[in-house]
Amino acid sequence: MENYCNKCEKLVSYSTKEKSVKENIDGKEVSYIKKYDICDICGTVFYSEDTYNYNIITASNEIRRKNGIITTTQIEEILKKYNIGKKPLSYVLGWGEVTIIRYLDGQIPEKVYSDVLLKVLEDPKEMLKYLETNKDLITPVAYKKAVGKITEIKLEEDKSKIYLIAKHIIAKMGDITPLSLQKLLYYIDGFSKSLLDRNIFDSRCEAWVHGPVYPVIYDRFSYYSYNSIDNEDFNDYKDIDISTDEIKLVDAVVDAFGCYSGKVLERMTHISEPWIKARDGVLENEASNNKINDEDIQTYFNGIVKEYNIISVKDIGKYSKSMFKQVSKM
């Protein structure tokens, strides 16, 4: 690294050192670790831009801590926790677009602003309230990303079974869109009712335009739209706290239906009686959150198991192949 040394009157290499200091800043005595730079040629002490900025932010954080004001580190935690940018966060909170940027650069927030940020950091519900109030001030993608992270936090806290299964599917598939994921969950739901005689998860699905949808999973992954889900957070996911017969069923459904595209799976579910019944009276492209009745799903899949002589999960492929032939002719 090089910086201009006034004594040497040229660019020089330098070393960065640290020392513990006490300084009076804005009437407050603060102690912190201060950095300074030393010219390797003449030993002159100076402050490079990086060192100067570090000292400003470090001293600012000490003042904040002494006064119960949010620190820059905590603000960065908010950005990461809710997968939101600096300007969008400012807009969501109803502030000027550079407010968060200024706070991260060392400006100390007034306590009323700090209290808002601390509450948002602590409580995802508080963040969701601001998102819903000011979502028109940010892009739809930014809104969906933040809602997705809030949903993820809730699902993780609740140890949601449908989310555990969704993560397992993503890890197993490696390349999957939210549309495909929703349809695989629908078939897992249906076959668990008929082959295991129980609900594999409690979340209920709704009859949306593009087929059965589990809203909580939609909220988690909707910002991917029709793109593949980034599986970086799931590619090492191996632990899934469900029974052996349940995991066998999940894997069998993925093996039987995972080879088809999301649009093909969508067409398959469009000729599924439970979805058709739940859409009764709704126009083809009309939005609807009508719930698909659990009993209708069970009745339909009981009939499928009987019609295709599905004795075990290994036989599920009989149905998927037949469905593919049917939609291929449409």
Give the separation between CA 287 and CA 322, rounded to whole angstroms.
Answer: 29
pLDDT tier at 56 (50, 70, 90 boundaries)? confident
82-91, 106-115, 183-192, 266-275: least confident range: 106-115
Q: Per-residue pLDDT tens for 200-259? A: 998 899 999 999 999 999 999 999 999 999 877 676 566 667 899 999 999 999 999 999
The pLDDT assigned to 129 comes to 97
User: Which distant-in-sequence residues (6+ apart) come within 8 Å of 311 by Cβ?
Assistant: none
The pLDDT assigned to 99 comes to 97
Going by the DSSP 8-state scheme, the letter that residue 136 receives in this structure is: G
The pLDDT assigned to 60 comes to 84
Give the separation between CA 101 and CA 228, rounded to whole angstroms.
Answer: 32
Taking Cα atoms as reference points, which of 214, 212, 190 lies closest to residue 200?
190
- Residue identified by tokens 């390797």 is 40
- When pLDDT is averaged across residues 20-25 and rounded to a whole number, the result is 87
Answer yes or no: is pLDDT of 135 > 70: yes
Beta bridge partners of 21: 32
Cα dihedral 171, 175, 176, 177 sign: positive
Mark 230-241 as b/e (b = at least 16 C-beta within 10 Å). Answer: ebeebeeeeeee
Answer yes or no: is pLDDT of 106 > 90: no
Beta bridge partners of 28: 25
Give the separation between CA 45 and CA 262, rounded to whole angstroms.
Answer: 63
% of residues, the chain, pLDDT over 70: 98
- Residue identified by tokens 């998860």 is 201
Q: Per-residue pLDDT tens for 150-175? A: 999 999 999 899 999 999 999 999 89
Beta bridge partners of 33: 20
Answer yes or no: is pLDDT of 177 > 80: yes
The pLDDT assigned to 236 comes to 59
Return the higher-pLDDT residue of 68 and 28. 68
- When pLDDT is averaged across residues 74-97 and rounded to a whole number, the result is 97
The pLDDT assigned to 330 comes to 80
Give the separation between CA 237 and CA 3, rounded to whole angstroms.
Answer: 47
- When pLDDT is averaged across residues 250-271 and rounded to a whole number, the result is 97
User: Which distant-in-sequence residues (6+ apart) come within 8 Å of 122 by Cβ?
Assistant: none
- Residue identified by tokens 């650069």 is 105
The pLDDT assigned to 6 comes to 92
Average pLDDT, the chain: 93
How many other CB atoms are found less than 10 A from the CB of residue 158? 10
Answer yes or no: is pLDDT of 320 > 80: yes
- When pLDDT is averaged across residues 35-46 and rounded to a whole number, the result is 95
Q: Which long-range contacts (CB under 8 A, 24 or more apart) does 32-37 make?
A: 32/58, 32/59, 32/61, 32/62, 33/58, 34/58, 34/59, 37/3
20-24, 26-30, 96-100, 175-179: least confident range: 26-30
- Residue 224 · residue 289 · CB < 8 Å: no
Give the separation between CA 73 and CA 75, rounded to whole angstroms.
Answer: 5
Taking Cα atoms as reference points, which of 59, 111, 261, 90 lies closest to residue 178?
261
Answer yes or no: is pLDDT of 28 > 80: no
- Helix, strand, or coil (residue 128): helix
- When pLDDT is averaged across residues 48-75 and rounded to a whole number, the result is 89
Going by the DSSP 8-state scheme, the letter that residue 233 receives in this structure is: G
The pLDDT assigned to 30 comes to 85
Give the separation between CA 173 and CA 26, rounded to whole angstroms.
Answer: 57
The pLDDT assigned to 315 comes to 97
% of residues, the chain, pLDDT over 90: 82
Give the separation between CA 26 and CA 29, rounded to whole angstroms.
Answer: 8
- What six digits make up the tokens of 60? 């600012």
Taking Cα atoms as reference points, which of 74, 11, 70 lies closest to residue 39?
11
The pLDDT assigned to 265 comes to 97
